[in-house]
Amino acid sequence: MRAVVQRVASARVVVDDEVVGVMSSGLLCLVAVKQGDDLARADEMARKLVHLRVLPDAEGRMNRSLLDAGGTLGVVSQFTLYGDCSKGRRPFFGEAAPPEVAEPLLSRLIDTARQEGVSVITGRFGAHMQVHLTNDGPVTLLVDV
């Protein structure tokens, strides 16, 4: 699994002019599932995101997790993170898991994050989405598990 993690002051996800998710401060994560990923990897990614210490402490240092800060986790499916652009001009998505594999693993990631104790918002799997965010820092990380 791969996630682009952005520390945000706020974010919202819109599908067909309907707001499907709104959050204030926390982490907005664009997440892709790779062929061969499994439930254990989804759980590992969820725990990594929930416990990632990139939120500011009283001195402004990146030292707090979502649990420490009471922040929200946003999860948006993004299979294009496995787009290989090394040859030609059109990305090849052969490493990305097919939708019937990816969707249940993303659902597992979301469920595990909620069980860890954080509030979670999501996009809509497979939909064309507009993701609006105010990046805080900016802080953007690439996380692979």
Q: Which residue among 80, 115, 130, 140 is the active-site one? A: 80
- The span from the CA of 18 to the CA of 14, in Å, is 5
Q: Pairing relation of β-strands 2-15 and 18-23? A: antiparallel
Angle between helices 99-116 and 39-51 (to 10 degrees): 40
Q: Which residue among 6, 35, 72, 78 is the active-site one? A: 78
Q: Which residue among 6, 72, 79, 112 is the active-site one? A: 79
26: closest CA among 63, 67, 58? 67
* Whether 80 is catalytic: yes
Which residues are tagged catalytic?
A: 78-80
